Structure 1
Amino acid sequence: MTVGDRRVLFLSHSHPFGPFRVGSHHYARLLASRGGEVVHVGTPISLAHRITGRARPSDVANVPRGPHRTVDGVVHLVPRTMMPAPLGSFRVARYLEKNGIRGRFDAILIDQPLLWDTSIRGLTDTLIYRPTDLYPSGLKHRIQQQIIDASDGIIATSEEVLRGLGPLGQPTLVLNNGADTAHFASTNEDEGPRPIRCVYVGALDGRFDWAQLSAWAGSHPDVRFLVAGPDADPPSSLPSNVDLLGPIAYDAVPALLHDARVGLLPLSDDPLNAGRSPMKLYEYLAAGLTVVARETPGIKRHEGVGIYTYSGGDDADAALDRALAHASPNDGGVRAASDSSWERKTDELVAFLQRLS
């Protein structure tokens, strides 16, 4: 499969009209830039979610109704439904046709189990399941098995996620998340050392370790800790040198990162963190930061490029001290991030699809 005039459909867990960009957004953007006809469908926003407050009115208001073609050429759709998928009557094929998107696709990549229904299999000869997380039990686990049984290939975002799927008969590929290196690169060629600040940008759910952040801030009172993300709900009061910034628009994130020295990935002991391939790792590096992260199967220490890891509270302070002492900006990290650009990831994705066609 070459891109050219090929039609590709993404069925994703996230739409691009909020503060976050995920892998499917970047793949869709780059495939469209290479001449593909690309459609991207995000998880439906249900009336039930709006009533219960899980979908805030301000967030919903930013999401276009119906097909929306972005400047990069991708047609994005975010369905509105009565009931959350897959509990209601939502079906992908019917929804696409209702919105004027007809015909078959050369490839469909699905990373949101809740979007699965049997109509999808009839829309393509090449169906790819692209798991981005571990689903050890529950509804997503059960639906995931149905998708695996129907798929022609699997592209997992980490070795741990692939291992969690169990024995597979299809071709597989592990394709870790990457970074939009041009977006995050600094334009200041004569830049000196950055301010002594640490920054985190991302989700602030149960996979974020508030206790570790507080411990770092308490033991480094002269360092400012900047935390950007929606719905911050720390379990206790934080030291005064921690600033909660709220959600930051994607286009504003590079400036925030360029004004700091260390990027933080304080992962909690949630078992689901074992399968994560955090985009922030390479976005931090692309922006010239060093990184401090809790070590996982997918995040290993590589001090030569400015990645410092810790296993728990006993060695977390030492890892942060080493990161703060690293040369700033982190030129070695910038070079390493270029090897994990979304452009290179897209090359691998297209090569995998070519092998299946």
Structure 2
Amino acid sequence: MNILFLSHSPIGGTFVVGSHHMAKGYASQGHQVTHLSPPVTPAHLSLVRKPFERERLLRWWRGGKTIHGVRDLIPFAPLTWGMARRLGAPYERYGRALYGSAMRLLQRAGAGEPDLIFIDEPRLGYLLRAFPRARVVYRPTDLYAQIRNDPSIDDAERAVIARADAFIATSEPVAEHIRAMGARDVLVLENGVDLAHFTNGPDYDVEARLPPAPRAVYAGALDHRFGVDSLMAAAKDHPTMSFVVIGPGSKAINSVLQQLPNVTLLGAVEYDQLPSYLRRCQLALLPLSDDPSNRGRSPMKIFEYASLGLTVVATQTEELSRRALPFLRVARSPHDFSFQVAQILSDGLLSHRDEAIAFATKQNWLQKCQEALSHSMKAA
């Protein structure tokens, strides 16, 4: 089968998202898979000092790059979504701006006539007009308009939903959101974990970069969705525990966390090395802010943590409470977050190890791929 992903994130950056795992999974099963993400624009020329932005420009110039059997493509557009929004009718204007470049790349990659399209970036929905015979699956992974504070994305979603043949959401709040826009028969399929990567991959010697054990770890972005108050409360209340923070972040958040002597900021680490850091920690954290966009999240990190037997303390969300995972403790406030850490220390850091691993083994991305394909082709 010829499968195309229209995704919000290019392959090969700091973060590995669901579309990357699914594309890799389908490629490993013998499908021809192409992955296309948002375009580079003239505005990106000012970012060439950033390694991955430079890589994106090179990937456009070279006509794509094959990664894990997937052809990853990045088109060019003369204007950004923000510019198109200021000019009016951004869905149409932005879509027309990137259409020619995207189609040339897809034709060269042999993806000009896909059988199946997974789209998780509604701002790329205009491209669907080129594929009237393809089966289209809208697979939103978040509440996009809230994340980006951009109501115009809701209009883009409505256009994609009107064209789509099947719907998959990664959380119940996201499913509710698209049902309200007209989506039907929505499958809630949570994000998964690359078990082979986290449990059987190479072990890198990272001990020298880590503070003394016991260690609690957070891996992810340090942005407006990160619960800095919760992590600070736990670090202050548990001075004998080391708190390891992995991921890119803002200078403001970093400056706050650097004030605590038992917090170690490692910055971004290579995805290949991430399991080596996690397996040297004894507790995992997912502190979230009260930003409304956190409501729709389906954090992959929970299952990645669990695959290594780590108990997880997370800020409560509707979605995480719905799941009622035995190895996950949810906290209602920064004070409660610290209290849950204390409870786990009292119970024993490894008390839920077997439950966590057993649950994670059922969340393999290869299994998710099969479920997604079965649902997508239903009544085709």
* TM-score, normalised relative to structure 2: 0.84
Deviation string 1:306-333 (CA, Å, 9 cap, x unpaired) is 2111111232122112233434282220
Relative to structure 1, the CA distance from residue 15 to residue 123 in structure 2 (aligned partners, 3 Å threshold; closer, same or farther) is farther
Q: How does 1:224-239 map to 2 (within 5 A)?
A: 224-233=242-251, 234=253, 236=256, 237-239=258-260
In 2, the alpha carbon distance for the partners of 1:95 and 1:206 equals 37
For 1:68 and 1:123, how far apart are their aligned partners in 2?
A: 26
> Residue 120 of structure 1: CA displacement?
3.8
Gaps of 5+ in 2: 82-90, 203-211
After superposition, what is the alpha-carbon deviation per residue over 1:179-214, rounded to whole angstroms, capped at 9, x for unaligned?
Answer: 1112112689xxxxx931011111111000112111
Check whether the contact 2:279–2:308 (CA below 8 A) recurs between aligned residues: yes
Greater shift after overlay, 135-144 or 159-168? 135-144
Partner of 1:191: none
Q: 2:163 aligns with which of 146, 150, 156?
A: 150
1:217 to 235, 248, 268: 235
Summarize the alignment of residues 258-277 of structure 1 with structure 2, pairs less than 5 Å apart.
Answer: 258-277=279-298
The farther-off stretch of 202-211 and 292-301 is 292-301
| Partner residue in 1 for 2:367 | 344
Q: Classify 1:61/1:26 alpha carbon distance in 2 versus 1 (closer, same or farther; 3 Å).
A: same
SS in 2 for 1:251: coil
Go from structure 1 to structure 2 and tell me whether the alpha carbon gap of 1:316 and 1:114 turns closer, same or farther (over 3 Å shift): same
Distance 1:354-1:227 versus aligned 2 partners, 3 A rule: same
Contact 2:213 2:241 in 1 (8 A): no
1:173 aligns with 2:187: yes
Contact 2:75 / 2:105 at 8 angstroms: preserved in 1?
A: no
Report the counterpart of residue 61 of structure 1 in structure 2: 54
Which of 272, 275, 283 is the aligned partner of 1:254?
275
CA distance in 1, matches of 2:183, 2:306: 36
Residue 84 of structure 1: aligned partner: 80
Task: Give the structure 2 partner of residue 117 of structure 1.
Answer: 126
Q: Which residue pairs with 1:9 in the alignment? A: 4
User: Given the alignment, which residue of 35, 44, 69 partners 2:39?
Assistant: 44
Cα deviation, 1:127-161, whole Å, max 9, x if unaligned, reads 11111111355121111111111111111111100
Greater CA drift, 274-283 or 162-171: 162-171
Counterparts of 2:73 and 2:184 in 1: how far apart (Å)? 29
Question: Which deviations, in whole Å up to 9, do the C-alpha atoms of 1:68-119 show, x marking residues without a partner?
Answer: 112x311111223332246541017624346443531111011011212155
- Residue 139 of structure 1 corresponds to 152
| 2:65 partner letter | H
Q: Larger deviation: 225-234 or 146-155? A: 225-234
Q: State how far apart, in whole Å, the 2-side matches of 1:203 and 1:104 are.
A: 36
Q: Cα distance 1:214–1:306, how it changes in 2: closer, same or farther (>3 A)?
A: same
Identity of aligned residues (%): 35
Partner SS for 2:131: helix
Q: Secondary structure at the match of 2:363?
A: coil
Give me the CA root mean square deviation.
2.4
TM-score, normalising length: structure 1: 0.89
Residues 225 and 242, structure 1, Cα contact 8 Å, conserved in 2: yes
Deviation at 1:121, TM superposition (A): 5.4
Q: CA offsets, 1:209-246, max 9 Å, x none?
A: 11211111111111111111113431635301111111
The answer on whether the counterparts of 2:142 and 2:296 sit within 8 Å (CA) in structure 1 is yes
What amino acid sits opposite 2:361 in the alignment? S
Task: Give the counterpart letter for 1:44 in structure 2.
Answer: P
Residue 378 of structure 2: SS of its match in structure 1? Answer: helix
Confirm whether residue 328 of structure 1 aligns to residue 350 of structure 2: yes
Residue in 1 aligned with 2:112? Answer: 103
Rounded Cα–Cα distance in structure 2 between residues aligned with 1:164 and 1:302 = 18
Give yes or no for contact 2:229–2:334 (8 Å, CA) kept in 1.
Answer: no
Report the AA paired with residue 151 of structure 1: A
Cα separation, partners in 2 of 1:352 and 1:295, compared to 1, 3 Å: same
Count of residues paired in the alignment: 344
Look up the match of 1:3.
none
Moved segments of 4+, more than 4 Å: 85-88, 301-304
Equivalent residue for 1:20?
15
The question of whether the paired residues in 1 share the 8 Å contact of 2:77 and 2:98 is answered with: yes
Tell me which of 112, 126, 130 is aligned to 2:139.
130
Answer whether contact 1:225 1:243 (CA < 8 A) is retained: yes
